[in-house]
Amino acid sequence: MPMAGGAAFLANPALDRRRAYGAAEQAILSLAKAAQAHHAIAAWDGYRPTPMMSLANLALETGVAEVLYKHEAHRFALKSFKALGGAYAVERLVAARGSAAGLTVTCATDGNHGRAVAWGARRLGVEAVIYVHETVSEGRAAAIAGFGAEVRRVPGNYDDAVRTSAQAAAVNGWTIVSDTSWPGYDLIPRDVMQGYAVLALEAEGQGARPTHVFIQGGVGGLAAGVLSWYWESQGADRPVLVVVEPDKADCLLASAAAGRWTSVGGDLDTIMAGLACGEPSELAWTLLSPGADAFMAIPDALAAGTMRLLAGQGIAAGESGVAGLAGFRAVAADPAMRTLLGIDAASRVLCIGTEGATDPAIYREIVGRDAAEVEREAP
């Protein structure tokens, strides 16, 4: 369904809100394993829950009770939420092997996952080889190398880099620590997604009781991790969850429309680099297909506008980090969508601001100021 501002919306035709979170789902992700991930991550140096901000101006403007923004820009040293997944998976891998000796991990990345795997590998003395595709910015590649990983640039898009890293792993005896899963490769991505569920667990501890969650989707692992936590803990009373993707890389929306796992091709060219994925994670799709309420695709302009809006409030948020909030703003401005999703003056909306200025040069280009300047001017 097209919307004002160039966004598109699809109520999930496969949604089954009364379906219980059963054994099959728990075998993928569970509350018990989320608690275990939280326990492990909370023991890392520098851990603290990221801030939960209440955006009062935006709540007023959009006519809801509360807009909550969980700000991941200062999660460890990575400027994004991603350590919760990639670095946690590396830690689980080392624990399962009993040692880091001789271990090399590899993955493909749009920027943030590779940074998290490199950081997690360095903490534990593991070698890392990270594959970036053609359009990953130099700034993002350099940040990964800055954590001691070998960075290899390959032709094509994110999904091509996933295949290249898997081939290299097979040839060299490396272990793939991917944030996406495919047939025959789905154990480590469970740990990655399980780590992401810590976001929901932290949010609960911070007093967030959302009626709606607007969350960005790349391969879908983040959305599935957060959904799983609310679904298992609250069943049919869980918040309405809307997955928001770039319109240039809307593989989850396309899958929902087709009624089955579907990829979208092309160069996936969007400023929302962390979401530039054309193939859903199989495991994530298994949960999102029956459990997500709706899917949206937004143009770059909505993300850029939301970055500038947040900058005006002293919050430096990156291109992919604001997608959920941008999707909510588009829905809030559309009376038919509000009715469809039950958004009203009593609604409490949660968005996860999954990254800060992960590429400082691109951030400055879009916002007109540096992240540090924006944060200094916080009201």
| Chosen residue from 25, 66, 91, 179 binding ligand PLP by CB under 6 A | 179
164 is an interface residue for ligand PLP by CB under 6 A:
no
Question: Of 23-31, 91-99, 170-178, 221-229, which part binds ligand PLP (CB under 6 A)?
Answer: 221-229
Note whether 359 binds ligand PLP by CB under 6 A: no
* One residue of 221, 239, 299, 356 binding ligand PLP per CB under 6 A: 221
- Per CB under 6 A, the segment of 213-221, 260-268, 289-297, 306-314 that binds ligand PLP is 213-221
Q: Could you tell me how far CA 224 lies from the centroid of its own chain?
A: 9
* Orientation of helix 188-196 relative to helix 282-291, angle to 10°: 50
Among 120, 210, 239, 274, binds ligand PLP (CB under 6 A): 274
Residues 112-141, interacting with ligand PLP (CB under 6 A)? 112-113
Q: How near is the Cβ of 101 to ligand PLP at its closest, in Å?
A: 29
User: Residue 326 in contact with residue 244, Cβ under 8 Å?
Assistant: yes
Nearer residue to ligand PLP within complex by CB, 72 or 232: 72
Query: Is 299 one of the binding residues for ligand PLP (CB under 6 A)?
Result: no
Phi first, then psi: what are they for 6, rounded to 5°?
85, 5
Query: Minimum Å distance from CB 82 to ligand PLP?
Result: 6
Task: Let me know if 344 is a catalytic residue.
Answer: no
**278 lines the binding site for ligand PLP (CB under 6 A):** no
* Residue pair 180/158 in contact by the 8 Å Cβ criterion: no
- 70 flagged as catalytic: no
Query: In angstroms, what is the minimal distance from the CB of 273 to ligand PLP?
Result: 8
Minimal distance, residue 164 CB to ligand PLP, in Å: 17
CB half-sphere exposure, 30, CA atoms < 13 A: 10
Q: How far is the CB of 320 from ligand PLP (least distance, A)?
A: 4
Q: Which of 82, 159, 293, 334 is catalytic?
A: 82
> Least distance to ligand PLP from the beta carbon of 150, Å?
20
Does 217 participate in binding ligand PLP (rule CB under 6 A)?
A: yes
Rule CB under 6 A: choose which of 86, 120, 189, 218 binds ligand PLP: 218
User: Does the footprint of ligand PLP cover residue 321 (CB under 6 A)?
Assistant: yes
Nearer to ligand PLP, 3 or 351 (CB): 351
Task: Give the DSSP per-residue string, 317-363.
Answer: --TTTTHHHHHHHHHHT-HHHHHHHT--TT-EEEEEE-BS-SSHHHH
- Residue whose C-alpha is closest to residue 217's, from 144, 281, 136, 135: 281
| Separation of alpha carbons 292 and 257, rounded Å | 13
Of the candidate residues 86, 114, 189, 220, the single one contacting ligand PLP (CB under 6 A): 220
Among 262, 261, 259, 202, which Cα is nearest to 226's?
A: 202
Listed ranges 12-20, 50-58, 271-279, 337-345: which one lies at the site for ligand PLP (CB under 6 A): 271-279
70, 246, 259, 261, 321 from 254: Cα distances, Å: 28, 12, 8, 8, 21
Shortest reach from residue 45's CB to ligand PLP, in Å: 22
- Binding of residue 250 to ligand PLP (CB under 6 A): no
Q: How many CB atoms lie within 10 A of CB 62?
A: 18
CB-count burial class (<10 Å; 0-12, 13-18, 19+) for 43:
exposed
Residue 113 CA to its chain's centroid (Å): 10
87/124 Cα distance (integer angstroms): 10
What CA–CA distance (Å, rounded) separates 340 from 354?
26
Tokens of 165: 């890293």
The verdict on 191 binding ligand PLP (CB under 6 A) reads no
Binding of ligand PLP at residue 309 (CB under 6 A)? no
How far apart are alpha carbons 346 and 226 in whole angstroms? 22
Q: Of 157, 270, 286, 320, which lies in the binding site for ligand PLP, with binding defined by CB under 6 A?
A: 320
CA distance 174 to 103: 7
Residues annotated as catalytic are 82, 110
Interface residues toward ligand PLP, by CB under 6 A: 80, 110, 112-113, 179, 216-223, 274-275, 277, 320-321, 354-355
